Amino acid sequence: MEKEELFSLDPHMLALLQQCADYFAQHQYSVYVVGGSSRNLLLREPYTDWDFAIHGNIPQIARQLADHLHGFSVHMHEKASRVVVKRDGKEIIFDLAPLHGSTIETDLLERDFTINAIALPFTSLLAHLSTQAPLTVIDPFSGRADLHTRTLRAVDANVFRTDPLRLLRAVRFLIHYHLSLDQQTAQWIQRDASLLPQVATERIHEELYAILQAPQGTAHLRLLDHLGLLTVLFPELLPARGMAQPELHHWDVFDHSLETVSMLELLATLLCASDREISASPLALETQDDLLTIRDLLQEAEQQKIFQFARMHSPQMKLAALLHDIGKPPTYTIDETGTIRFYGHPQAGVPLAQNILHRLGASTHDRRLVQQVVAHHMRPGQLSHTEISERAIRRYFVELGPVGLHVALVSLADHLAMRGPEPLTQAWQRHLSTVRLLFTRYIRERERILPPRLLQGEELIHRLNLKPGPIIGHLLEMIAEAQAEGRVHSKDEALWLAEEYLSHENAT
């Protein structure tokens, strides 16, 4: 047991802790502050969630403590309960868990990392916070020393075998607290990486999304790869490693996929920047006007509530960027000229991406986003190779709606990652100009290119005496295109167009 000094808490929090102490003293409970609470206190980081280890009937203690604090309790699982207290519009959380074993030292032995295996007797903590009395710290694994050197070290060789989710938690801690990884712990992670699929889907989802939420996504994906975890999570990426691409590509398929995440983050940051910052970017060489206009258009789209800049940095978008070329390995061919081809890789990638997102427990919304990016990420670039028609623009947004904005941004990131450190070419200028045009039409001229339907399917069936079937959808789409092109302005004209089409079809 050693001495330590902490920062002081605000009076309201201190008063709430004193109320907790009064309850514990009244019932003669020995309580320890453990886990993230003790770690963050020793790191002098603000903390509003408190982890208590305590002997006794946890659900009962939680209910009584909640009553004492005028809060409410939640039974989390068989080992823990939560007390929630609302103060000044904020929630303060107390998580109560049973003490493992007969002593606090035994309890700490079962924890994951040395920085989390530190306990503070609650009475000593409160005395220190109230009067600056010396604080007792129970630290059997030298966790404070690792906090001082910012080192993540496992408590023992079996921590990952006891709970393989700790493999991902280790990466999250490294990122969040800016730690370096102990070499022996790194070897244990690499040794036990194959155990990760044993973990419940929802737990993996939570940790992976927390990792992807942090900036510098490509660096974190490379850390996962270095530790042997990335291709355990995404075995579909295994054949992409070392798979060559056509000559315009700087990276192989694997590295290109990872670098696309980095380029998406770069674009997301640039498109939130000032005029001067955008102008100074190497990406703005001869494309400054396009970048500035795209930024302004996206600001308008955010005001229209069809786009969110924050979503550009989301785990879902980073997953979409990572998996956009997941269909390349199964479609890899070399033609008679020796040229590498990936014919149909967007379509081939859709079921693979869907399987991955299902395996990760992603929501329907996230699965849909990734599917659309994988299926359509080539379209903006392909449109840039020809004179883009109004019909092509309309069809793009008929199929994708506002997600078409996100698909186009991933397509730009894909282009940048394709070139890597190589100079950008005129193809980048054309690609960017095409995305600007797509955005202009959808954000500023949406009612023109996607006018309200003049007819519904039921009315078309009734007025023309048709039977339900694929022809109805075809006629409705044909009428909508004619509306967008200014050839049809009324319901009667729409019916006339449909009749003319049907007459021609019947004649042939």
Q: What's at 446, amino acid-wise?
A: R
Q: Which residues have CB under 8 Å from 364's CB, separation 6+?
A: none
Can you give the pLDDT at residue 508? 67
Q: Which residues have CB under 8 Å from 411's CB, separation 6+?
A: 377, 378, 379, 380, 381, 431, 435
- d(C-alpha 197, C-alpha 280), whole Å: 45
- d(C-alpha 214, C-alpha 176), whole Å: 8
Pairing label, strands 80-87, 90-98: antiparallel
Can you give the pLDDT at residue 468? 87
Tell me the residue length of the chain. 508
- d(C-alpha 97, C-alpha 163), whole Å: 17
- pLDDT by residue, tens only, the chain of 508 residues: 444 555 567 788 888 999 999 999 999 999 999 998 999 888 887 677 899 999 889 999 999 999 999 999 998 877 799 999 988 778 899 999 998 888 999 999 999 999 999 999 999 999 988 888 888 999 999 999 999 999 999 999 999 999 999 999 999 999 999 999 999 999 999 999 999 999 999 999 999 999 999 999 999 999 999 999 999 999 999 999 999 999 889 999 999 999 999 999 999 999 999 999 999 999 988 899 999 999 999 999 999 999 999 999 999 999 999 999 999 999 999 999 999 999 999 999 999 999 999 999 999 999 999 999 999 999 999 999 988 998 899 989 988 999 999 999 999 999 999 999 999 999 999 999 999 999 999 999 998 888 877 678 888 887 888 888 888 888 888 887 887 777 777 777 778 788 878 877 777 6
Pairing label, strands 180-181, 151-152: parallel
Q: What's at 346, amino acid-wise?
A: P
**DSSP 8-state class, residue 410:** H
In Å, what is the CA distance from 453 to each residue of 243, 356, 459, 480?
47, 37, 11, 7
Can you give the pLDDT at residue 6? 59
CATH topology of domain 156-233: Hydrophobic Seed Protein (1.10.110)
Pair of tokens at residue 404: 């078409």
- d(C-alpha 341, C-alpha 331), whole Å: 8
**DSSP 8-state class, residue 34:** -
Can you give the pLDDT at residue 304? 96
User: pTM score, two decimals?
Assistant: 0.86
Angle at the Cα of 370 from the Cα atoms of 365 and 373, rounded to 5 degrees:
125
Architecture of 2-149 per CATH?
Answer: 2-Layer Sandwich (3.30)
Find the Cα–Cα–Cα–Cα dihedral 254, 259, 264, 265, rounded to 10°: 130
- From the list 204, 238, 232, the residue with the least C-alpha distance to 360 is 204
- d(C-alpha 165, C-alpha 167), whole Å: 5
- From the list 237, 287, 248, the residue with the least C-alpha distance to 267 is 287
Q: What's at 479, amino acid-wise?
A: I
Orientation of helix 253-270 relative to helix 217-226, angle to 10°: 150
- From the list 402, 250, 414, 235, the residue with the least C-alpha distance to 320 is 414
User: Is-contact 446 297, C-beta < 8 A?
Assistant: no
Tens-digit pLDDT profile for residues 159-210: 999 999 999 999 999 999 999 999 999 999 999 999 999 999 999 999 999 9
Angle at the Cα of 214 from the Cα atoms of 209 and 220, rounded to 5 degrees:
85
User: Is-contact 199 150, C-beta < 8 A?
Assistant: no
DSSP sequence for 308-333: -GGGGGSHHHHHHHHHTTTTHHHH-E
- From the list 103, 180, 135, 198, the residue with the least C-alpha distance to 3 is 135
Q: What's at 159, amino acid-wise?
A: V
- d(C-alpha 478, C-alpha 56), whole Å: 71
Q: Which residues have CB under 8 Å from 336's CB, separation 6+?
A: none
Helix H, strand E, coil C: the string for 195-259 is HHHHCCHHHHHHHHHHHHHCCCHHHHHHHHHHCCCHHHHCHHHHHHCCCCCCCCCCCCHHHHHHH
- From the list 416, 434, 435, 412, the residue with the least C-alpha distance to 301 is 435
Tell me if residue 452 falls in helix, strand or coil: coil
User: Is-contact 81 73, C-beta < 8 A?
Assistant: yes
